[in-house]
Structure 1
Amino acid sequence: MAIDAQAVIQAIVRALEEPPTRARQARKPVITVSRTLGSGGDVIARAVSERMGIELYGSEIITAIATEANVSSTLIEALNEKLDAVDAWIYSAVFGKHVSRDEYVHFLSTVIRGLYHTGGVIIGRGGHVILAGRDVLRVRIVGSVEACATRISEDEGISYAEAKRKVQDNNKRRGKFIWDLFHSRYNDPTNFDMIVNTDYFRKFDDVVEMIVMAARARGLDRKLHSAQVAAGQPVA
């Protein structure tokens, strides 16, 4: 998926330049989505973004932004200058002595924290860890290995055995990614506000509705209303 990474980073910088009170009122809601392969998490995340009218930042998009940020030093410096003491504390807590502070991790963390100020649905890349403690909805979409393997087998036209290995290997890689970078357990339920097992959901639309309702329960729909008003957009 093509993306103008610099434009996204510039939008983040502009959001951070808003007066604090106005920025808090106008910011769109943020939902992080962690998912297992074959659980339908990507489809559900996209549907949630469309339903709520907010941007979708998939893992490949976030990676593209972080990669672009690596060469756009002036943009990333502008971002860093806007981050407050709380951000610095979170960075210190997350990227402590347990993990290395390589450039990719630094830019990735900075970008995700910046996206918090613009709003949207953030898929994967440890967003639920980086934004812990903030007014976001952290969702995890899961499924049993068997159910996920069946979906992958049908979607990709591969054998069930091959699909099962693919799901298991992917789960291990994602778990290692979260542990290596954040020293956090991939399956720790306390890291999420909502966990949905999609094994027996016939329609993902029902899961989307549950997430939207949870966002409303957290008051995130009021943030969307405020952001729409501030932008002069029609309010649903």
Structure 2
Amino acid sequence: MTRSIHKMIDEQIKRWEMQKKQGVSPVDTCNVITISRQRGSRGHEVAEALAKALGFDLFDYEIVEGMIKETKDSSDRSKTLVETDRAKTLLDTLDEKKMSIVDDLIAALVHKHHLWPDEYSKILLRVLNTIGSHGNAVILGRGGNFVLKDTNALRVRIVASDDMRCKVVQKDKGLSADDAKKLMVSIDANRRAFIRRYFNADTQDPANYDLVLNTDKISVEKAVSIIQAALA
């Protein structure tokens, strides 16, 4: 994990610790948005722009995986005291009442979807529920929509046509059309496999989302406006 990710996680934990000390609780209205996306649909751009517009924190793949790694490190005696303390602090940012709610949500999710969680998925569920409990968050990927299904989170799916997605990947990665399509297909397949493995669900089932947006004709700015309207 890069030093910049360590720094971002440390800053996030400090904000949560300050909220805990001040007794700040998330409001009852929806203040968590999960975003699932197809590769090349500009979902990451939508997530970044949405977080900026709302003044929320963005939790993307690198940050969530970083939190999972550091939480896992808390049980590894070979890690330094600083690494262990950081992981412990992450889990301690919730008070006892919120932690109890998180435990109940995880138990219900595992039972409802007949999951048999391994070490990684147990930590993933706890990290995403911790983020959701603090609120003011945009969570990109990692099955956030499944983990927070029974909360007041707004679950968004960003899609686009194969042609458009291929062009976006070509431009972003500097690839030929054939190579861009292969990369797009591979990444989407890996994401579907991840969700099937850990949540026994299908990423392409629209029932798993509250809002599905096609960015073929909807700009990033328009998508952000639509999501903001759905939050009102």
- TM-score, normalised to structure 2, is 0.80
- The counterpart of 2:151, out of the listed 126, 130, 134, is 134
Answer whether contact 1:141 1:196 (CA < 8 A) is retained: yes
1:8 to 12, 33, 36: 12
Q: Which residue of 2 aligns with 1:41?
A: 43
Offset at residue 167 of structure 1 (A): 1.0
Matched, 1:209 2:213: no
- Deviations along 1:180-235, one digit per CA (max 9) or x if unpaired, are 0011111111111100011223x32111111111112xxxxxxxxxxxxxxxxxxx
Contact 1:28 1:120 in 2 (8 A): no
Cross-structure match for 1:65:
67
CA contact (8 A) 1:49 1:56 kept: yes
Task: Indicate the SS of the match to 2:27.
Answer: helix
> Offset at 1:173?
0.6
Partner of 2:127: 111
In 2, the alpha carbon distance for the partners of 1:59 and 1:77 equals 19
- Residue 78 in 1 paired to residue 92 in 2? yes
Q: Distance in 2 between matches of 1:94 and 1:15?
A: 27
Q: Which residue of 2 aligns with 1:150?
A: 167
Whether contact under 8 Å (1:58, 1:124) holds in the other structure is yes
CA 1:173–1:190: 2 relative to 1, 3 Å: same
* Equivalenced residues, count: 213
Q: Does 1:183 align with 2:187?
A: no
Alignment partner for residue 87 of structure 1, among 102, 116, 120? 102
**Counterpart contact for 1:32–1:124, Cα < 8 Å:** yes
Structure 2 unaligned regions, length at least 5 = 76-87
Residues 69 and 48 (structure 1 numbering): CA distance in 2 closer, same or farther, change over 3 Å? same
Q: 1:26 to 1:210 in 2, by over 3 A?
A: closer
- Cα RMSD for the two superposed structures: 2.6
Deviation at residue 112 of structure 1 after TM alignment: 1.0
Q: Is the 8 A contact 1:94 1:130 kept in 2?
A: yes
Matched residue SS, 1:23:
coil
Displacement of 1:161 in angstroms is 1.1
Distance (whole Å) between structure 2 residues aligned to residue 52 and residue 68 of structure 1? 28
In the alignment, the residues of structure 2 paired with residue 205 and residue 23 of structure 1 have an alpha-carbon distance, to the nearest angstrom, of 30
Counterpart contact for 1:69–1:75, Cα < 8 Å: no
SS at the partner of 1:56?
A: strand
Distance in 2 of aligned mates of 1:16 and 1:195: 34
Q: Which amino acid aligns with 1:167?
A: M
Which deviates further from its counterpart, 39-48 or 6-15? Answer: 6-15
Q: TM-score, normalised by structure 1?
A: 0.79
Asked whether the equivalents of residues 38 and 167 of structure 1 are also in contact (C-alpha less than 8 Å), the reply is yes
Q: Is the 8 A contact 1:31 1:120 kept in 2?
A: yes
Residues 129, 149 of structure 1: CA spacing in aligned structure 2 closer, same or farther, 3 A cutoff? Answer: same
Distance 2:147 2:17 in 1: 18
